A and B are shown apart, each in its own frame.
Chain A
Amino acid sequence: MTEITEVPSPFCGIGTDDLAIKVNGVSIKVSKNGCAVNTAAFEQAITDTSPRIDGKEVSLKQAVTRASEILRNANQPVIGGCATDVNGMRALMALADRNGAVVDNMNFTKARANFLALQDSGWMNTTLAEIKNRCDLFVVIACDLEVFAPRFYPRYLWNKESMFLDDTSAREIIYIGKAPSGKASTSPKKIKAQVLECADVDLPEVLAVLRALIKENLVIAEQVGGIAVADLQMIADKLKAATYGVVTWAAGALDFPQAELTVQTICELVKEVNASGVRCSGFPLGGKEGDQTANQVCGWQTGYPARMRFSSDIPEYDPFLYDINQMFDNGEVDAFVWVQAFNSSATPPTGGRIPTIVVARSGMTFKEEPDVFIPVGTPGIDHAGHAYRLDNVVAIRLKKLRDSGLPSTAEVLTAIEQGLVS
């Protein structure tokens, strides 16, 4: 048995890289700094090692050949999931480009509100180390942060030392919308976060009023979405009094139509605090299991985030039309590849009787067996690689922890692509 230290995690999104992991053959135990998300994801046992065609075990070569055949004969192939490392995504893009496929990251619809806001008006954002060292006021909008990332508070807010704050435990935490489900946001000095609760459907209105107050527009209402306007005024005042306020949100948690307008309101109110003469930054939460990686690689290779297509031999982007679920509903798909190297419970959406190829983490089980299933190694466990952290700036170098013999996503997709040429 060996113990590997300073192991980075591709699972939690916040780039924790201080895990210690004991490896015994192919079995893995997180021995230090695990959490509810990471420990389970690292420790999951390998179950399948053989590819299957129609449920029958075959060689990798046979599975790849069959996959290439399916794609070669397709008029409108789609590649969904896109949950893998940088090299996996590179191979996925090469395959899609050659095959004229749609590329759709599995969480794009959740992230879409952010892209639409970005592409309409932009934003002022920050990253984890700035939060850790500077943030004195942290406003969480409509998201249960400690469930999203269990180690966020201890690592980035209740850290003992910081470069620019004398006392990190004096940071102020405010929730708008959902109340936190646990006590992670309570400071080491036992000071609880302030919570202004409202229903999700009221968020657009509540945030619009907060923005108006920051701009010092006249607000006549005394209450909005069950929150006293006076309380929102206090938040506006605090943002303008802070040294380095940070406003965070999770686009995926804004589960109502036109959520991009709410993201935009958040981004614009951050800009307006800056325009008033005080620094303030936004911090979008999201991007686990390769979401940021998919968008980054697709971005530099095509100019667009990961909901695009090569069907006309050129890259084309549409944040709505190339949603594979919608394409399935419309009967627009005749071959489907699902790529999910991180999470074996993230099974493919069912597209009816469409020829389906699944390239996924060992252990995935199906209601309907796909035509081709190829189990692949998990980046950061079975092979080295790169993955992006949720703040989208830092790419972490994933380590190889064990010799499982499973191929990487990149190897499999490249082989399928080669099969299209020959």
Chain B
Amino acid sequence: MLTKLTGGIVYDPANKVNGKKKDIYIEDRRIVSKPRNVAPDQEYNIGGKIVMAGAIDLHTHIGGGKGNIARMLMPESHRIDPVAHTNIKRAGTVHGMPSTFTTGYRYAEMGYTAAFEPAVLPINARQAHMEMGDTPMLDKGGYVMLGSDDFFLRMMTANKDQQAINDYVAWTLRAAQGVGIKVVNPGGISAFKFNQRQLDLDENNTHYNVTPRQILKSLATAIKELGISHPLHVHGSNLGVPGNIQTTLDSIAGVEGLPMHLTHVQFHSYGTEGDFKFSSGGAELAEAINKNNNVSVDVGQIMFGQTITASGDNQRQYANRGISSPNKWVCMDIECDAGCGLVPFKYKDQNFVNALQWAIGLEIFLLVKDPWRIFLTTDHPNGAPFTSYPHLIRLLMDKSFRNDMLATIHPEAQKMTTLGAIDREYSMQEIAILTRAGAAKITGLENRGALGKGDFADITVYTENDNREKMFEKPDYVFKDGELVVKDGEVVKVVWGTTHIVRPDYDKSIEKDLKKYFDRFMTMKVGNFTISDDEITEDGRGSLTVHPTVGEKT
């Protein structure tokens, strides 16, 4: 079937198309060039409407054990806004950590067609894939967490060579079916199990005598040498600690030019100036990003209101337990693999720290110059739910709106931010880079996030509106793999996306060491640890899409 979208204004940064009137043809899931002498079977007249690729969220906690603990911990959140089923949609809940089906529908209804779970514990990867398997409408994938797992730390202590580390990283990606590697508070989750309550970049894990800096370097090198497109995804040391901007700058220096993605960097950009000994490191951070082309960031913007923070970083979550609101929290040590911590948070605009966090996130967005190296996230649900993205886009695109909001926050925080003096407003094309082309590029997705010939027809159509929040919260049409799935902001067809993975080669002899290690110390056989392809595909909905490593691309 041939479908034609007629007369839209297209923003397709991947193909350097910037607001040009252009027809789009879709056939057999993909975008095709204008066919000769063939009339379309279906035509959508979208004259004057804004057309972008489907949006991609490269960091959002949508699947995995800690998210499910977050759901269980907060029934009162879910009671606030339940969603009824319809003939095609399942019932669910939204507030806090939403249910899986509702997550998929809501993302699609905002024009998103892919989302990546950034904290997949290898031992819990099955659950992450099962939850994502129950998340409709979206393509998905996971970054697999390493760096506090005992197998890796034993290798580091034993001074195993880089090749062996690479083999282990590649094996883990295969076993856990991941698309990238994440490190969370490098070595710190392990250190907490040895009763270290904090861990600086150059501080030793007392058992292993390994520092976070060494872990970063080792894993970033492995990613580079294995040719994995997505840079090492780093949740740095000292999350939330005033003064951690220095840790973040030192981490950037520490990887010595290797590709690195710093996630929810807002939480890692704090100084210690001022009466409250808490200040913005936004400008310093942005300057470092502008100077270091090897580094990309996503922001982790906070928004005011109730949410729950869900993190693998149980060391820092434990430290933050005192400010949980409501006063209940969970920390777990997990399977000599990692950990997790759940701390409910209520960000308040009249709280100095929260207000400044809000401003710091926006400073970073506006001061980082290269839109291909910064991404739009709230670290859902940690900074705010993903449903606040349209509001965030308006803050970025509309200076007077932003300044109106700024005028309402804690007055001392207003004094401590340069936000009011920043004139930049994001253009439509820049938003398309942050949320589409750039995100597809940095996660290594082939033929996604773009509207050229041969690209998958993941397409979102909006009606132009000066109120950008209104515009981005309710697209007219969303197409997933060429099918119309959302109309007027409502799901009209439920579809199931693919799971993106990478499979770099590795020397199989690592499996001998792993078998021995599992038999001696773990609680399952290594063969039962590995996730087989059919576990993802056997339900008839799931599929796997393997993306090439950098060396394989020509």
Residues on A facing B (Cβ under 8 Å) = 6, 8, 15, 17-18, 86-87, 90, 94, 97-98, 115, 118-130, 132-134, 155-156, 161-164, 243-244, 274, 277-279, 281, 295-296, 299-305, 310, 312-317, 384, 386, 392-397
Contacting A115 at CB < 8 Å: which of B72, B79, B207, B336?
A: B72
Q: Which residues of B contact A90 (CB under 8 A)?
A: 134
Q: Would you list which residues of chain B between 264 and 316 have a CB under 8 Å from chain A?
A: none
Instruction: Give Cα A277 to B195, complex, Å.
Output: 8
The reply to whether A87 and B92 contact each other, CB–CB distance below 8 Å, is: no
12 new A-B contacts at CB < 8 Å, known A122-B73, A299-B71, A300-B67:
A6-B527, A119-B72, A124-B331, A129-B522, A156-B523, A163-B336, A301-B101, A303-B71, A315-B78, A315-B99, A394-B124, A395-B130
Shortest CB-to-CB span from B546 to chain A, Å, is 21
CB <8 Å contact, B91 and A314:
yes
| CB-nearest residue of chain B to A275 | B321
B167-200: which have CB < 8 Å to A? 192-195
Q: Determine the chain B residues whose CB is within 8 A of the CB of A278 once the complex forms.
A: 195
Residue among B67, B90, B127, B531 making CB contact with A301, cutoff 8 Å:
B90
List B contacts of A8 (CB < 8 A). 524, 528
Please choose the segment from B248-256, B322-330, B380-388, B434-442 that sits at the chain A interface, where 4 or more of its residues have CB less than 8 A away. B322-330
Instruction: With both chains docked as a complex, state the minimum distance between the C-beta of A301 and any C-beta of chain B, in angstroms.
Output: 6
The 7 closest A-B pairs by CB, nearest first: A314-B82, A303-B93, A303-B78, A313-B84, A122-B328, A129-B335, A395-B126
- Closest chain B residue, CB of each to CB of A7: B528
Collect the chain A residues with CB atoms within 8 Å of residue B194's CB: 279
The residue of chain A having its C-beta at the shortest distance from the C-beta of B532 within the complex is A397
Q: A98-B85, A315-B82 are in contact. Are A15 and B330 (CB under 8 A)?
A: no
Q: Contacts A97-B91, A302-B92 given: A17-B524 contact, CB under 8 Å? A: yes
A300 and B99 form a contact (CB under 8 A): yes
Task: Give chain A nearest CB distance to B43 CB in angstroms.
Answer: 32
| Given A98-B85, A395-B127: A302 in contact with B328 (beta carbons within 8 A) | no
The chain A residue sitting closest to B335, CB to CB, is A129
Closest to A87 in B: B539
Alpha-carbon distance A22/B24, docked complex (angstroms):
60
Indicate if the CB atoms of B99 and A301 lie closer than 8 Å: yes
Number of cross-chain contacts by CB at 8 Å: 188
A-B contact pairs, 26 of them (CB 8 A): A118-B73, A119-B74, A122-B342, A126-B333, A129-B337, A130-B336, A132-B523, A134-B193, A161-B520, A164-B207, A279-B194, A295-B72, A299-B68, A300-B63, A303-B92, A304-B72, A304-B75, A313-B85, A314-B82, A315-B78, A315-B82, A317-B78, A394-B124, A394-B126, A396-B524, A397-B535
A301 CA to B90 CA in the complex, in Å? 9
What is the distance, in angstroms, from A227's C-beta to the closest C-beta of chain B? 29
B429 at the interface (CB under 8 A from A): no
Name the residue on B nearest A131 (C-beta).
B523
- The chain A residue sitting closest to B83, CB to CB, is A314
Distance (whole angstroms) from the CB of B486 to the closest CB of chain A: 21
Asked if B193 contacts A130 (CB within 8 A), the reply is yes
Q: Is B415 an interface residue (CB 8 A)?
A: no
> In this assembly, does B23 line the interface, its C-beta being within 8 Å of a C-beta of chain A?
no
Q: Which residue of chain A is the closest to B330 with respect to CB atoms?
A: A122
B196 nearest CB neighbor, chain A only: A279
Query: Which residues of A have CB within 8 Å of B193?
Result: 130, 134, 244, 279
Q: Name which residue of chain B comes closest to A114, CB basis.
A: B72
When chains A and B are docked, how far (Å) is the Cα of A164 from the Cα of B99?
38
| Cross-chain contact B523 with A386 (CB below 8 angstroms) | no
A18 near B525 with CB under 8 A, answer yes
Q: In the complex, what residues of A have CB within 8 A of residue B332's CB? A: 124-127, 393
Kindly list chain A residues whose C-beta atoms are within 8 Å of the C-beta of B535. Answer: 386, 397
Chain A residues in 8 Å Cβ range of B330: 118, 122-125
B528 touches which of A122, A304, A384, A397 (Cβ 8 Å): A397
- For A128, list chain B residues within 8 Å (CB): 335, 523
Q: Mark B47-79, 1 if CB is under 8 A from A, else 0.
A: 000000000000000010101100111110111
A317 proximity list for chain B (CB < 8 A): 75, 78-79
Please give the distance in Å from B95's CB to the nearest CB on chain A: 9
Distance between Cα atoms of A87 and B524 in the complex (Å): 22
Most buried by B among A162, A278, A303: A303
Interface secondary structure of A, over-half rule: mixed
Report the separation of the CA atoms of residues A244 and B190 in the bound assembly, to the nearest whole angstrom: 13
Q: How far is the CA of A156 from the CA of B74 in the complex (A)?
A: 32
Instruction: Name the B residues within 8 Å of A127 (CB-CB).
Output: 332-335
CB distance from B55 to the nearest CB of A (A): 23
Given A122-B342, A315-B93: A15 in contact with B78 (beta carbons within 8 A) = no
A299 CA to B535 CA, complexed, in Å: 20
Is B98 interfacial (CB-CB < 8 Å)? yes
Docked CA distance A396–B529 (Å): 8
Question: Which chain B positions have C-beta within 8 A of A394?
Answer: 123-124, 126, 335, 523-524
Does A299 contact B85, Cβ atoms closer than 8 Å?
Answer: no
Q: Is the beta-carbon distance between B99 and A302 smaller than 8 angstroms?
A: yes
- A393→B333 CA distance, assembly (Å): 10
The reply on B131 being an interface residue by CB < 8 A is: yes
Which residue of A15, A161, A299, A304 contacts B524 across the interface (Cβ within 8 Å)? A15
Q: Is B318 an interface residue (CB 8 A)?
A: yes
Q: A133 touching B521 by the CB < 8 A rule?
A: yes
Q: Does B150 contact A (CB under 8 A)?
A: yes
Q: Is the CB of A121 within 8 A of B328?
A: yes
Contact B65 A392 (CB under 8 A): yes
Interchain CA distance A115-B123 in the complex, whole Å:
23
Neighbouring B residues of A126 by C-beta, 8 Å: 332-334
A190 to B324, CA, bound (A): 45
Q: How far is the CB of A311 from chain B (nearest CB, A)?
A: 11
The CA of A393 and the CA of B529, in the complex, are separated in Å by 13
Smallest CB separation, B121 vs chain A (Å): 8
Report yes or no: A17 in contact with B336, Cβ–Cβ below 8 A. no
Q: Are B92 and A301 in contact (CB under 8 A)?
A: yes
Q: Is the pair A97, B85 in contact by a Cβ cutoff of 8 Å?
A: yes
- The residue on B at minimum CB distance from A126 is B333
The answer for the CA separation of A313 and B335 in the assembled complex, in Å, is 38
Contact across chains for A396 and B528 when beta carbons are under 8 A apart: yes
- Give chain B residues whose Cβ lies under 8 Å from the Cβ of A124: 318, 330-332
Q: Do B73 and A119 touch (CB < 8 A)?
A: yes
**Quick one: which of A97, A119, A155 contacts B90, CB cutoff 8 A?**
A97
Report how far A394 CA is from B68 CA in the complex, Å.
13
Report if B97 contacts A (CB, 8 A): yes
Considering residues A15, A86, A119, A163, which has the most beta carbons from chain B within 10 angstroms of its beta carbon?
Answer: A163
Q: Within 8 Å of chain A (Cβ to Cβ): is B237?
A: no
In the complex, what distance in Å separates the CA atom of A214 from the CA atom of B531?
A: 43
What separation, in Å, do the CA atoms of A82 and B101 have in the docked complex?
A: 20
Which single residue of chain A is at the shortest CB-CB distance from B337? A129
CB of B100 within 8 A of chain A?
yes
Contacting residues, chain B, for A155 (C-beta < 8 A): 523
Q: In the bound complex, how far is the Cα of B408 from the Cα of A359, in angstroms?
A: 59
